Amino acid sequence: MNSNEIVRSAQKAGIAIPAFNIPYLPMVQPVIQAVADQDCFALLEVARIEWLRGEAGGPAAVMAEFRRWERPEYVRLHLDHIPVVDEDQARVEYLPIISEAIGLGYQSVMVDASRLKLDDNIAATRQVVEIAHAAGVPVEAELGSVLGHGDVKPPPYEELFSAGIGFTRVEDARRFVQETGCDWLSVAVGTIHGPFANAWKDEKKPQARLKLDLVEELSQATGIPLVLHGGSGVRQSDLLEGVKRGIAKINVGTEIRQPYEITLRETGSVKAAQTAVYQRTSWLIGEYFGWAGTRDRVLGNQEVR
């Protein structure tokens, strides 16, 4: 099973694949160990912002660390958020980054052209799909606006949710998927990204909820697995119901990044920070998601590749 087949298999089994962001290389080992110990299947992923503002080093550095610890029966490596226009509204040379990752062996990639107009987002995404599919690599794209990564604090959460700020439009999503051929679609349905490198990066995220009817409508309109970005801090009942309605991949960053950063700052010990990441990842899989012991339900008896 390749990564796309695994995500689709999880969706059929009523499970989503958790995808854990790695802004610091020492996080790789404890996350993989937690996934294996919980007998789950997950993705590890790194976004461009995590090597610019964190210490991930870049696609090659993350791949090298991943190769040290990888267990293909439990984990895959995904290239997250490669923007066409970044958080500072600067254009990004995104194709060389994505091509590099494919050459390094990343098993899925994401292009984020959501800051562009719909037609331009479609064109940029279609270009990446052509390159990645030629190498047998699935592509995640984004439509709508999941706020939070920039240096400007988002509006109060209730204002954002009530007004539907940035929410993905159903008809746009239908057209987008038809014209791009992307494999997975990140949608804006109520979540926000955790702040990464600014004055409030240690703050607890507001508890988000999901516009569940919109999730279901988007799933029916697109016919492909939906991805939930900003998965940390979502109301548990909404998250699990969202999985039933079409969410098949859930990105988790803040929930494991903050324990690493805070523990390292307080103790000066990378080992202690790794232990904090292991414990939080284990809790997320076993208690919050409730997906411990689900690897066989996702993979069955199929061979992973």
Q: How far is the C-alpha of 124 from the C-alpha of 41, rounded, in Å?
A: 30
The b-or-e profile of 96-130 (16+ CB within 10 A means b, else e) is: ebbeebbebebbbbbbbbbebeeeebbebbbbbbe
Q: How far is the C-alpha of 175 from the C-alpha of 61, rounded, in Å?
A: 36
Residues 191-231 pLDDT 10s? 877 654 554 566 666 778 899 999 999 999 999 999 999 88
Pairing of strands 42-47, 247-252: unpaired
Kindly indicate the confidence band of residue 122, based on its pLDDT and cuts at 50, 70 and 90.
very high
| Of the candidate ranges 25-29, 143-147, 179-183, the one whose mean pLDDT is the lowest | 143-147
What pLDDT sits at residue 199? 47
What pLDDT sits at residue 10? 96
What pLDDT sits at residue 284? 97
Strand partners, 143: 187
**CB within 8 A of 112, min separation 6: which ones?**
81, 82, 83, 84, 141, 142, 186
Strand partners, 187: 143, 228
Q: How far is the C-alpha of 108 from the C-alpha of 128, rounded, in Å?
A: 12
Burial of 26 (0-12, 13-18, 19+ CB in 10 A): middle
Q: How many CA atoms lie within 13 A of 277 on its CB side?
A: 30
Question: Please, are residues 272 and 264 in contact by the beta-carbon 8 Å criterion?
Answer: yes
Q: Which of 227, 272, 269 is nearest to 252 (CA)?
A: 227
Does 79 or 193 have the greater pLDDT score? 79
User: Hey, CA dihedral for 25, 153, 43, 59, is it positive or negative?
Assistant: negative
Question: Please, are residues 114 and 125 in contact by the beta-carbon 8 Å criterion?
Answer: no
CA 111 to chain CA centroid, Å, is 12
Which contiguous run of DSSP H or E holds residue 166?
none
Phi, psi (deg, nearest 5) at residue 147: -80, 165
Q: How far is the C-alpha of 35 from the C-alpha of 289, rounded, in Å?
A: 12
Q: Which of 251, 212, 219, 211 is nearest to 233 (CA)?
A: 251
Kindly indicate the confidence band of residue 151, based on its pLDDT and cuts at 50, 70 and 90.
low
Mean pLDDT of 36-60: 96
What pLDDT sits at residue 202? 61
Q: How many CA atoms lie within 13 A of 10 on its CB side?
A: 29
Q: List domains and CATH numbers for the chain.
A: 3-299 (3.20.20.70)
| Cβ-based neighbour number of residue 58 at 10 Å | 17
The b-or-e profile of 150-169 (16+ CB within 10 A means b, else e) is: beeebeebeebbeeeebbbb
